[in-house]
Structure 1
Amino acid sequence: MDIISTAFPHHKIETIYAYEILLGGGNIHCITQQQL
């Protein structure tokens, strides 16, 4: 988190519980790739 916070100092960085996403066969990139 420290590295990401340093790279993006003006953004709020939050962790999430992603167990269900991983169980469904996806990952973070799968659910965010359609973001505009």
Structure 2
Amino acid sequence: MEEEEEKRRREEFVRKRKIHYQMGDVLKQYKDKDY
């Protein structure tokens, strides 16, 4: 049971971090375009 919880928490963390990176990339693209 403990392992499942740990795995689920890690997947959640990775997903949030991925979304964070994607948003960072979008902001970087906007800066590059000089809007």
Higher helix share: 2
Please say whether Structure 1 and Structure 2 have the same fold, judged by a TM-score greater than 0.5. Answer: no
TM-score (norm 2): 0.24
Higher relative contact order (CA 8 A, sep 6+): 1
